[in-house]
Chain A
Amino acid sequence: MQDMSPTIKVEELRKSYGEPRAVDGVSFDVQTGEFFGILGPNGAGKTTTLEMMEGLRKPDSGTVTLFGESPWPRNPRLLPRIGVQLQASAFFERLTAREQIRTFASLYGVPARKADEWLAVVGLEDMAGKRNEDLSGGQQQRLSIACALAHGPDLVFLDEPTSGLDPQARRNLWDVLRDISAQGRTVVLTTHYLDEAESLCDRVAIMDHGRILQSGPPATLVRDLDAPTRISVETGTITAEAARGLADGLEVSDDGVSLTIATRTPAPVLSALAERDALRGLSVRGATLEDVFLHLTGREYRA
């Protein structure tokens, strides 16, 4: 399906459960094969936006089009083409992991053998005989993702897929998602991990209070932020006084562990530090998506 129209078209979506509005005029397009991320603090309206796109909620106003069709009301032509992992996992009671994924797969006409392969993909083959009530939170999360992907959907919605995963499982899942994306499928995910968004997404939208504050490729957002580079050394390596004298217009702070110098021209600062042999515990950090997030929402992000 390589047509010109976007896979997802969202226009002026609004939804309120009362005051204030949960989603307040959101518009964006997602192109076929694109990896799109929605970021935002708790309560920003990410899940609500996603649920309206999936056809689980009726927008108060505005339109959603997937593959040129409306997902609301329940649209049987769209359903086989989309895969959804909900923020709150949904499992049949008292079924084992294997029975669980086989049941979901069969709803899409996918054979049991193929469903079992997906258990292996998310690293649950050893847990196949365990009931979902006995799986750990992260294992349930992985099962839920496998259930969303087993039928090979063209469009995948993932609501915080890596929350609760250990670092290893998180990296594994990234690989799985990159694979899916490489096959030309469209992926929309929400996340609180900005490194995740930076590493996976072609484009992100940062939301707060039901609105999109900014959207674009992560690298572009970071560049446009034009934030200073942070150079840190161990506290005591150099005094704050001396550090301020290294160049003009430096911002220096010391938290008792490291002394941090913020600058837009890192090269002269670094060579001056080297001259004084004051490089103990050196780290240099450019602006990241986190800085963009912080700048836009004014809030610390909470993972």
Chain B
Amino acid sequence: MTGFVSLSTAMARGFFRDRTALFFTILFPLMFLVLFGGLFKDAGASKTDILQIGAVPVVDQLPAEAAAGLDQVLSVTRTADRAAALDEVRRGDKAAAIEQVGGELIVHYSAADAVKSATVRGIVESLVQQSNLAAAGVTTPAVTMRSQPVEDQSLKAIQYMTPGLLGWAIATGATFGAALTLVTWRQKKILRRLRLSPVPVASIIGARVSVSIAIAAAQCAMFIGVALLPYFGLKLSDQWWAFIPVMIAGTLAFLSIGLVAGAASKTPEAASAIANLITLPMAFLSGAFFPLDGAPKWLQQVSEFFPLKHLVSSMQDVMVRGESFAVTLPDIGILLGFTVVLAAVAAFLFRWDDA
């Protein structure tokens, strides 16, 4: 037991004193989150910002229900300064500016962002029609428009990216950590020195497992902390903490991948190359960086064979899609299955010594 504790401490100290490892395990993935979180801040089911110049009766006099519906798709800012408003549209800060001159509703838009201006024009047109119908005395229109956000199916970028990039970070951290510890400890003769001490092999492996889980927990705390900042605006589901078991199962699966990579290589360079070769393509093909919804069917099927796919999708389910812990159980089972098989391979390839 003391062996387990002191080996874990030695391993953790070695890790936290290694600037390069710290950077690539914690800061580097976090930089991706900050970068993409900032870039795609407005992507996904976000609202379109428009300006309203002066009074626009068509909008102002909307019935409460319709106004609420409009609110879900448009964010309207009122202003009196016409010139400044048009300037903002020209610069692309706002999608459009609307003003009403007598019976005429004018939509100022820039052709630069065709999608957004088309959205605004469509919405305004439906407003105009509605008010025309009202003016004609038709109080119950045959067809009404209702807009509903589709948050549940297509997530806002940050909602999607936080679990995705976090899953990738955990996978990389666990794989590299295990692979490099194994190789450098063998190369620096620490393993053969440990072999001469009465410490059980289980304590050595247990130490690596506990350090990897601690590192994964630190990654989670940093990722969620940053994504929750108002600037990025992550919204967690009620039972978000239910991702913890699948996170641990994922760490174990990638740790055993790392052990295989470490057992199979003689130098740290070879071990990193193998670890990269495994984790990087897997990240792209598992939906860690971008959704696979639009990907070809065969790719989606192939991705089922990657542990990262199971880690990421389960984390998304409970962290942001509001699913319960129960939905992660199959993925946990699959990840633990990967762990058992790969750990057996690693045990088979394991060598205390180079010679």
Contact = CB atoms under 8 A, between A and B. Distances in A.
Nearest to A54: B196
B198 interface: yes
B197 A94 contact: no
Nearest to A17: B355
A84 B194 CA distance: 11
Given A79-B197, A79-B198, A108-B197, A103 B192 contact: no
A90 B193 contact: yes
A104 B13 CA distance: 15
B14 interface: yes
Contacts of A90: 188-190, 192-193
Interface stretch (B1-9, B220-228, B304-312): B1-9
A92 B189 CA distance: 9
A80 B355 CA distance: 24
A8 B308 CA distance: 53
Interface string A69-90: 0000010100110101010111
B13 to A, nearest CB: 6
Interface in A101-139: 102-104, 106-109
Contacts of B196: 54-56, 79, 82, 84
B2 A109 contact: yes
A241 interface: no
B189 A107 contact: no
B interface SS class: helix
Given A103-B7, A107-B3, A94 B18 contact: yes
A interface SS class: loop
A104 B197 contact: yes
B91 interface: no
B10 interface: yes
Contact of B198 (A80, A86, A103): A80
A250 interface: no
A11 to B, nearest CB: 22
A268 to B, nearest CB: 56
Most chain B C-beta atoms within 10 Å of own C-beta, residue among A76, A80, A106: A106
A88 B189 contact: yes
Given A86-B189, A103-B7, A95 B198 contact: no
Interface string B281-312: 00000000000000000000000000000000
A74 B198 CA distance: 9
A107 B199 contact: yes
B227 to A, nearest CB: 31
A86 B195 CA distance: 12
Interface in B1-48: 2-3, 5-7, 9-10, 13-14, 17-18
A91 B198 contact: no
Contacts of B323: none
Nearest to A79: B198
B88 interface: no
Interface in B179-197: 184, 188-190, 192-197
B84 to A, nearest CB: 58
A50 to B, nearest CB: 12
Contacts of B6: 102-103, 106-107
Contacts of A93: 14, 18, 184, 188
Contacts of A94: 13-14, 17-18
Nearest to A88: B189
A108 to B, nearest CB: 6
B14 A108 contact: no
Given A88-B189, A91-B188, A107 B18 contact: no
Interface string A170-208: 000000000000000000000000000000000000000
A82 B195 CA distance: 12
A94 B5 CA distance: 17
B198 A107 contact: yes
B154 to A, nearest CB: 46
B17 to A, nearest CB: 4
B49 interface: no
A107 B194 CA distance: 9
Contacts of A160: none
Contacts of A88: 189
A291 interface: no
Interface in B247-262: none
B199 A91 contact: no
Nearest to B184: A93
A154 interface: no
Interface string A49-63: 000001110000000
Given A93-B184, A106-B3, A74 B195 contact: yes
A108 B198 contact: yes
Contact of A56 (B13, B17, B190, B195): B195
A24 interface: no
Given A17-B355, A90-B189, A107-B6, 12 more contacts: A55-B196, A76-B200, A86-B189, A86-B192, A89-B189, A91-B190, A93-B188, A94-B13, A95-B10, A99-B13, A103-B9, A107-B199
11 contacts: A56-B353, A74-B195, A84-B193, A90-B193, A94-B14, A94-B17, A95-B14, A99-B10, A106-B6, A108-B197, A108-B198
- Which 6 A-B pairs give the minimum distances between C-beta atoms? A90-B189, A90-B193, A106-B6, A79-B198, A94-B17, A107-B197
